[in-house]
Structure formats: C-alpha cells, structure tokens
Amino acid sequence: MERHGRFIFMQTTADEDAHDRFVTESVARIPALRAQQEQRLARLREVLVQAGPADCLALASLTYLHKDPDTYRESEDDRSAAHIEFLAVQVLPLLDQPTPTPTPTEPASEGLLLVVGEALHLVRQLFEDTKELLVLRSVEAARRQGASSEFEMYRLQAMSQALSVRGTAFTEHTRFTLDGLFTPFDTDCRRILGFTANEAWSLLNAIPAVIEPRLRPRLNAATDRYRDAERDLNRLRRKRGLPPALAALTPTQQKAWLRETVFSEAYRQPVSLALLTAEALADAAGVSVQACAAWLDLFHCPPSEYVERFHHAPTGGHPLTRLPLLRLDTGYLAPVPSALAEALRPRMEDAIRDRDQALWNRYEAHRGRWVEETATQRLQAALPGSLRWVGIPWSGSADSSDVDGLVHCDDLTLRIQAKAGRISAPARRGAPSMVEDVTAVVSDAMHQHSRLSDALADETPAQLGFGAAQDAALSARLQIEVVVSLDDITVWSTETHKLRHLVAVPTVDQVPWVLSLADLMATTDLLSGTQLVHFLTRRQRLEREGRIEAHDELDWVGNYIFDGLFFDSFFEGSEPADVVRLNSYTEAIDSWYFSREGLTSHEIPKPTQPMPVELGALIARLEVDRPPHWLTAGVMLLNGNDESRQQVARSLTHTSARAREVGWSNASQALGPYGITLWVDHRYAGRTLSQLLTAYADQKIAELDRPNWLVIGLGADGRLTVVVRETDPDLTFVHVLLQRER
C-alpha cells in the first residue's frame, strides 16, 4: 500500500503461502486488540469520572471541532464530529450518577485541559482500534470464501466507513429540504410538536449566538495574557530565572505548559459556557420560549438510550445521531451542533408518526411526491432544453410499475427512481436490518429500473402506456438510470457495484447512479449541461470497472472537475495497482459552499473544470443553439485528454481563420474508434451543409477505417450543425463513452 498525494495504491505482491501466513498472523491479533480496546474504554470512563463527565464533554465540544472556513481543508483535518459524538455517548450513562456541582466561584479542576486531551486521545485510539478490528474480521471472513464470506466482508467494510460519515449535506440543501417537506404542515407541526421547521432551524442556528458572547471575551483576554506571559517566559529563559521544574522542559514544552495554564482559566466551568436554556436560546433565535422548550425536549437523548452491547465502542449508528442534545439539571448541551442539522428531519418525522398517524400518512405521501419532483426538477434544470415528467405509470403484458421521473435532453434520457424511506440506526451499525433497509431504499429501485428495461425489450413505449414525447425519451441513444434517496446513503452508494455482496442487484449491463438527494443537489450546483453528462458517463465506467474507491459522491465530482475522473494510467505498466483509493477531493467545494453561506472573509469562486477557452466557447454555443445531437457532440469533445482538448482548441482557431480567407475550412482528429471533424463554411447552411458534412463523415470512415465519425459544422447562417455517423451497432459513441464490451 502506497500513498501518492490524494491517491492510495494497493497491490497484492505476496505469494499464496506468504498471504496465508499474513492472514493467520492477522487473525491471531484479534483477541489482543479487543483486550486493548477494553482497557482504553475502562481508562476513558475513569477520565470522565475524574474530570466530571459534563465538564469534560462541554470542554471537548468547545475546543475540538472549531474550523476556520477561510483555511479549512478536509484532507488535513483528522478531528471528526464522530469523536465528540462518541465521547457524548460515553457520558450518557454517567449523567444519572451523582457528581459534585462546582459553585460559580470555584475554579476548574486542576489541569482540566490536559485531562480532556487524554480523553480525546483515548477516543481517537478507540476509533483506530475499531477500524483495525473490522479490517481483521474482514480478513477472517475472507478466509472462509463463498457468498457468505463476501457478504460479511462487505458488511464489515460498510460498518468501518459508517464510523466517520457525518454531515454529508451542505447547509443550504438541508434547509431547502426542511422547507420543502415541512412548510405545508406548519400548523400541524406547531400543534403536534410545539414548533415549526423554520423555528427549529432558527434555534439550531442561534446556538453560536448563545455561546460565543460567553466564551469570546475570555479567549481574547487569555490571548492577551498568553502574549505577555510568553514574553516574560522568553526573558526569564535568557536570564536563567525559570523555576527548576519549568527549566527542565524544552522550550516547546514550556510554551505548551504556559498555554494550558493561561487558557485553563478561559474555559473555567465549561458547562456554564456551553449550557443552553430555553430562555437564552429562544431570545437569541427570536422564537417563543414554549417553542424552544418543546424543541429542546424533543431532541434530547435520555440516558436510557445507552445500550452497553451496542454503544460501548465506536459505531456508525448510535443515539446521539438521532438525539443530539444532552439534558442536565440546569439546561442542555449540544456536543456537536452540526449533528442537529442532520437530525432535524428524521426526529421530526418520528415524532409525527408517533403522535398523529393521520398527519403522518399525509406527510408521508407528500414526502414521496416531493422527493420525486425535486430530484427530477434538479436534473432538468441542469440540462438545457430538457423535458421532464414525474410519476409515470406503465403497464405491459407481463409486468407493470412506474417511473418516478424522466428527463429527456437531446440524445440523453435520465430514468429516475426516488426513495424517501429511511436507513435505521441499527442498519448503520451493521445489524441484519442493513439488508432490509438497503433493499427498500436502493435495491428495490434498481430492480424497478431493470423491470422497465425488460418490458421495453419486448414491447414499445406506446404499448406500455407512455405518450409520444415519452416514447422519444425512452428511445434516446444514451439512457442512464438514477436512484435518488432522501436519506444519506453514502456508505452504500459511492461504489454501487459492490452492493451485490449485500443485497440482490439486477444482473444488467448498467449500474445505476445511486446517490442521496443532498448529493444530487450539490452535483447539479457544480455541474450542468455537457459536463454533467460527461461526468455521468465516466461515473458509469467506474462502476463497471470497480477498481477505484472513494469516500463519497462529491469526491468523484471534485476529481472530475480538477482531474477528469479518468484513471486508466493507474492500471497501465508491468505492475499495475489492484485498487486505487481516492482521498478527499472536496476542499474547493467546501470552501465555495462556506462562501455561499457568508462564512468566509472573501468570496470564493465556484470550482470549474480547466478548459481551453476556444473549446469552452464551442461547448457553450452547442448548449445554446442545441442542434440535434448537440449533447453527443459536446460530450465527445470533452472525452479526450488534455492534449486532445488543446488540439481541438488549436483546430478551432485555425479553421475559423482559414475559413475567413477562403470561405470554408475543416480539421479532423482521429481518437481510437472514432473521429471528430470541425467544419466552418461560409458558403452553405441548413440541409445543404448537413448533406455535405454527412458525405464527408462517410468518406473519413472509409479512409481511416473508423466505425464512428462526428462532424460539427458552423454554416453561413451562423448556426451549428452536428452529424453523427455510426457503422457498427456494437461500437457506437455510447459504447465508447461507457466502454461496454462488444
């Protein structure tokens, strides 16, 4: 295993005997690793009791997760919200135990920052222990071989990823979803829950306004004191006037001691700094105290939620992901405020279902329609000149079902199945319900796609009940299946081809594009038109090849924007990698969204794919003029590497200049099984030009023995014409893009 920049390359080099020894030695480490984990858990509980569980948690929350939006880089940040959540889970059963409450004048316990530092260090070690245990259990499962082994390996890998997957939606998308789902039910929410979705959002965002005025003056004062003390420290060090104990430390250790000493005072009585009360929070949010009290009560996690069997070690699904507040005698703690944003919708849904079944039925129906409509609308808006349909039933001689959404754009149709169901907490921690939930949210949607494909193979769209425009959509040359989930499904969707190890997946040529609605919204914010379609074709190739791994969908998007989502070179040469792991590619995306929220000190530009100006202008012109096959033309122009794109740009410049001199000009480029000609003609337009370009394409196919040729022509009328010629039905442009086998 080697790391190079943002990539991890994995290759098997051991012979069979060496591999067997490695497996045996690895599996033998499991008992010792479990014992080590138990020792660390026991020490963590000791530390929590020593520091005071609430104080320890409050201080960890105040200090651990701070991020500067101007400088934040995910690839450089190893401080996960999951760490603080797990610490809060361990605090949960201790809240019922009596602990001394400090008086307002009593200072913080000696060295509280150091104690909390040890607690956080233990938490991080426990996460590493758990990940290693999951890997070793996966190695153990692989030894058994067979379908059950593959199932267990996939389940364990999903559990490992679920340990740290948190906060997958950007703020604006979370807010958009809450508004779309709950605003029509504001009156009912106030009656049943005691607050509306808008009030819930306001309360969430008011938390910093409650805590910051308490903490900021202390930190400013501590910073000033530290600056003065550091100057004194340097002076005493030069004059050899330091106390012996301090003089025995290195200069770096001396500064660390000084910082801990000075800032301990700033964080004195951390619970009082982090405490949320209904009165304070309601005042900051501008909502009623009654609504705030109802909100706090609904989202608090009682100690009874802690189950030793499931929650003693780090896990992907635990109570704090659903109930992110802890209730104390005097108020509430929000250990990870961002977790509240993720919990708002599911917790409100659960409360509605528990308290008013009739309202739940109405809400559930609205939720399903809203997800279908939103997913379809987002994709249509990203594709110029496209048409969309939502909720289309179909019925054939052997089967019947429906399509949640269709989007038709030139040579492309997106077939959408949207699922509003939930992935439960037990499923996220690897319980057997993982299979049931992923089946309901992902696998069933994939089978709906497969059933329609089977029906279309035997009957025409009209025979299945589709209208004329829908018939044209379902006859488009490029069909891409999409599965959109309202719930976050990052753990299961980034490498959809692997799902066959967990649930029943149709045996079909195409693996659907599976992602959450939040990821779909972010993707269509970042990519549109030709680039979105080109991304989808390359995304399909990744699923077909199954050799590249990534953390989440936006890592694929980020890689596409900056590096093209093209990995062929990684698997060339005499000793290619078996698997390549893609690390974070979302830093520029994160910064852009921070900027959109107004959190950065300056405006951050939207991440864009580097492209020669001339090529970008031609693709933009295709998206505006939209002649037939414009989308195929644009995608094929993008499909080359950087050199081929530069060649297109040079050809455009040369052809345009030459045509101004002699009236017409062209330039051709052969790329593997296809070629592209750029043609500028001030003599002809319309049908005459189309006939000329068609004849030329046929000529190039014959001359160069290429099965496909594409011609993009600019006529005398200033309009674009696209000609697509294909002579081999098993090696069309679609086959080239998706790299399907002949």
Mind listing the pLDDT tens digit for each residue in 665-687?
Answer: 999 999 888 999 999 999 999 99
Cβ–Cβ under 8 Å, residues 587 and 62: no
Coil, helix or strand at residue 353: helix
Q: How far is CA 140 from each of CA 127, 131, 631, rounded to the nearest angstrom?
A: 20, 14, 49
Paired tokens of 291: 């609504």
Q: Say whether pLDDT at 456 is over 90.
A: yes
For residue 418, tell me if it sits in a domain.
Answer: yes
Helices (H), 567-629: 587-596, 613-625
User: Are the C-beta atoms of residues 350 and 186 closer than 8 Å to each other?
Assistant: no
Is 344 within the bounds of a domain?
yes
Confidence of residue 107 (pLDDT cuts 50, 70, 90): very low
Task: Kindly indicate the confidence band of residue 711, based on its pLDDT and cuts at 50, 70 and 90.
Answer: very high
Q: Let me know: does 27 contact 116? Beta carbons within 8 Å.
A: no
Per mean pLDDT, which of 210-219, 274-283, 510-519 is the most reliable? 274-283
**Does residue 136 sit in the same domain as residue 285?**
yes
Backbone angles phi, psi at 663, to 5 degrees: 100, -25
Q: How does pLDDT run across 219-232, given as a tens digit for each residue?
A: 888 888 888 888 87
Predicted confidence at residue 150, as pLDDT, reads: 83
Q: Token pair of 440, please?
A: 């309901």
pLDDT at residue number 445? 94
- What is the pLDDT averaged over residues 142-164? 81
Percent with pLDDT over 70 in the chain: 95
pLDDT of residue 110 exceeding 50, the answer is no
Residue type, position 466, single letter: F
Domain count of the fold of the chain: 3
Please check whether residue 231 lies inside any domain of the structure: yes
Residue 425: alpha-carbon gap to chain centroid: 19
CB 457 within 8 A of CB 487: no
Mean pLDDT of 414-418: 97
pLDDT above 70: residue 141: yes
Q: List, in order, residues 6 or more apart from 94 with CB less than 8 Å away.
A: 45, 48, 49, 53
Write down the pLDDT at residue 225: 82
Q: Which two tokens stand for residue 74?
A: 């995910």
Q: What is the pLDDT of residue 571?
A: 74
Distance separating alpha carbons of residues 345 and 351, to the nearest angstrom: 10
Supply the range of the domain harboring residue 691: 613-738
Q: Do 95 and 37 contact (CB within 8 A), yes or no? A: no
Query: What is the structure's pLDDT at 109?
Result: 43
Rounded CA gap, 6 and 532, in Å?
Answer: 23
Residue 536, domain CATH: 3.40.1350.10
Query: What pLDDT was estimated at residue 486?
Result: 96
The stretch 677-699 carries a mean pLDDT of 96
Is position 575 within any domain?
A: no
pLDDT the model gives residue 100: 47
Residues 86, 318 contacting (CB under 8 angstroms): yes
272 with 387, same domain: the answer is no
Contact between residue 351 and residue 293 where contact means Cβ atoms under 8 Å apart:
no
Residue 572 confidence (pLDDT) above 80:
no
**Residue percentage of the chain with pLDDT more than 90:** 61
Q: At which residue do the structure tokens 């109802």 appear? A: 294
559 in any annotated domain: no
- pLDDT, mean of residues 342-367: 96
User: Six-digit token pair at 604?
Assistant: 């951050």
pLDDT at 741 over 50: no
Nearest-angstrom CA–CA distance, 646 and 474: 35
Gap between the Cα atoms of 742 and 728, Å rounded: 10
- Report CA torsion sign: 426, 432, 437, 438: positive
314 and 82 Cβ atoms separated by less than 8 Å? yes
Same structural domain, 624 and 485: no
Does 570 map to a domain? no
Alpha-carbon span 211 to 448, nearest angstrom: 49
Q: Distance (Å, rounded) from C-alpha 322 to C-alpha 324?
A: 6
The reported pLDDT for the residue numbered 2 is: 64
Within this chain, do residues 322 and 457 fall inside the same structural domain, yes or no?
Answer: no
In this structure, the number of other CB atoms found within 10 A of the CB of residue 687 comes to 9
Q: Is residue 398 domain-shared with residue 320, that is, in the same domain?
A: no
End position of a domain, from candidates 326, 355, 384: 355
Burial 23-53 (b: 16+ CB within 10 A, else e): eeebeeeeeeeeebbeebbeebbebbeebbb
Query: Tokens 């993008």, residue?
Result: 638
Whether 5 shows a pLDDT value over 70: the answer reads no
In this predicted model, which residue has the larger pLDDT, 538 or 98? 538
Residues 6 or more apart in contact with residue 710 via CB below 8 angstroms: 632, 633, 636, 674, 675, 676, 677, 697, 722, 723, 724, 725, 733
Q: Cα separation of 429 and 29, whole Å?
A: 23
Strands in 694-734 per DSSP E: 708-714, 720-726
d(CA 598, CA 540): 35
**pTM score, whole prediction:** 0.91
Q: Where are the beta strands (DSSP E) in 552-632?
A: 579-582
Which residue do the tokens 């100057």 mark? 231
Compute the distance between CA of residue 318 and CA of residue 301 in angstroms, rounded to an integer: 11
Which of 355, 388, 421 is the endpoint of a domain? 355
Cα–Cα distances (Å) from 22 to 25, 30, 144, 553, in that order, read 5, 13, 15, 33
Q: Dmax of the chain from CA atoms?
A: 96
Mean pLDDT along residues 641-662: 93
Q: Are residues 328 and 376 in the same domain?
A: no
Across 215-229, 324-338, 427-441, which has the greatest mean pLDDT?
324-338
Identity of the amino acid at 425:
A
Distance between CA atoms of residues 529 and 384, nearest Å? 6
With bands split at pLDDT 50, 70 and 90, how would you rate the model's confidence at 101?
very low
The pLDDT, as a whole number, for residue 402 is: 96
Task: Quick: pLDDT tens for 578-622.
Answer: 778 888 889 899 999 999 999 888 999 999 999 999 999 999 999
H/E stretch holding 33 reads helix 30-51
Q: In the predicted model, is pLDDT for residue 409 greater than 80?
A: yes
CB count, 10 Å around CB of 187? 9
431 inside domain: yes
If asked whether residues 532 and 654 sit together in one domain, one would say no
Whether the CB-CB separation of 314 and 130 falls below 8 Å is answered with yes
Give pLDDT, residue 439: 92
Do 512 and 660 fall into the same domain? no
Cα 56 to the chain's mean position, in Å? 31
Banded pLDDT at 169 (limits 50, 70, 90): confident
Amino acid at 668: S
Does residue 188 share a domain with residue 309?
yes
Residue 103: pLDDT over 50 = no
Q: What is the mean pLDDT of the chain?
A: 89
Query: Where is the domain boundary, 355, 385, 416?
Result: 355
- Same domain assignment for residues 87 and 164: yes
Residue 106 has what pLDDT? Answer: 41
Closest CA to 442 of 380, 511, 382, 508: 511
Q: Kindly state whether residue 599 falls inside one of the protein's structural domains.
A: no
Question: Residue 145, by phi and psi: left (phi above 0), alpha (psi -120 to 50) or beta?
Answer: left
Q: Which helix (H) or strand (E) holds 298?
A: helix 289-298
The reply to whether 231 and 138 lie within a common domain is yes
- Which of 96-105, 129-138, 258-267 bottoms out in mean pLDDT, i.e. has the lowest? 96-105
Is the domain of 657 the same as that of 728?
yes
Whose tokens are 């153990």? That residue is 140
DSSP per position, 464-507:
TT--HHHHHHHT-SEEEEEEEESS--HHHHTTGGGGGGTS----
Among 36-50, 375-389, 532-546, the range of highest mean pLDDT: 375-389
Burial class (CB in 10 A: 0-12, 13-18, 19+), 76: exposed
CA-nearest of 522, 482, 416 to 174 is: 522
